[in-house]
Amino acid sequence: MNSDVEGKDGPDGAGDLEGAGGRPLRRDAELNRQRILKAADEVFTERGLEATLDDVARQAGVGVGTVYRRFPDKASLADALFEERINTMAGLAVQAQEADDPWEGLAGFMLTAAEMLTSDRGLRQILMFAAHGHDRTHYARERMRPAVGKLVERAQAAGQLRPDLSATDIPVMEFMLGATAEYARDVRPDIWRRYLTLLLDALRPSRDGYTPLPVAELSPDELATAMRTSPLKPSGRGSTE
C-alpha cells in the first residue's frame, strides 16, 4: 500500500525531508516516520480520523511525543498521508498514459483511483474534511495535475471525451464518489460504482451534442484551496480561537 512512497522523493534518494539544511534525518528517525505513517494509515483506515493520536502512537509502537516531533499536529499527519496517496494516484495517472486506448486510459484511471479512495475510510475523510493548502501537499498535487491533464487531452484529441471537460473535473468527480462511498458505507459500500458508470457516460462524446456546462471548472489553485476548515479541530481543544 505504501509501496510508492519511496518513489516520490525523486532524484535524490536521500529523502526529501530537510532537503535544505542538509541532515537528511537519521536512519532510525526516518524509520520512525515511516512507522508512524503506516500506523496512521491503519488506524485511520479502520476507525476514521476520529482516532486519537495516542492510538496512532500506540499502533506505531512509539510515544506520542515522537509523533509530534515528526508532525507538528494531527492535521499535518493527515496531510502527509494524503500526500502519499496523491503521489500514488499521480503514479497511477502516469501509468494510465500508457494505455493503448485513450478512453480506456482515462476511465481506467478513474476506476482505479476511486477504488483506492473508497477502500480507505481515513482517506475518504481526509478528502472530505482535512485541511489543505499546506505546503507539503503542493508538490504532490503539482505532480498529479499534468498527468491527469494529459489523460484528458489525449482522450479529447481522440474524440472520445467531451471537449468541455477539464482536468480539474476529474478529482472533483473522484471526490463525489468518495463522499458517496462514505455516505453509504454501512449499507452498500460499492454503490459508488453505479455513479461512476453514470458519470463516465456523461463524459462520452455524443452525437446529440452536450449541454453547455454552466460554470467554469475549478482552477488548479482553487482545487487546492477547496477545503479550508478542518474537522480535525472541531472541538477546538488546543486553539484559543
Partner DNA sequence: GATGAATGAGTATTCATTCAT
Partner DNA sequence: GATGAATGAATACTCATTCAT
Sites of contact with DNA (CB under 7 A): 23-29, 31-32, 50, 52-54, 61-66, 68-70, 72-75, 232-233, 235-241
**Cell numbers for 79:** 496531510
| CB crowding 152-167: b at 16 or more within 10 Å, else e | bebbbeeebbbeebbb
Largest CA distance in the chain: 61
Contact residue for its own copies among 91, 146, 183, 220 (CB under 8 A) = 183
Q: Which helix (H) or strand (E) holds 172?
A: helix 169-183
Task: Give the closest residue to 80 by CA, choosing from 46, 39, 121.
Answer: 39
Task: Give the closest residue to 102 by CA, choosing from 156, 146, 171.
Answer: 156
Q: Note whether 226 binds its own copies by CB under 8 A.
A: yes
Q: What residues numbered 27-66 form the site for its own copies, per CB under 8 A?
A: 48, 50
Q: Note whether 179 binds its own copies by CB under 8 A.
A: yes
Contact residue for its own copies among 41, 55, 120, 169 (CB under 8 A) = 169
Q: Note whether 157 binds its own copies by CB under 8 A.
A: no
* Residues binding its own copies (CB under 8 A): 48, 50, 128, 169, 172-173, 175-176, 179-180, 182-184, 186-188, 190-191, 193-195, 197-204, 206-208, 210-218, 222-223, 225-229, 231, 234-236, 238, 240
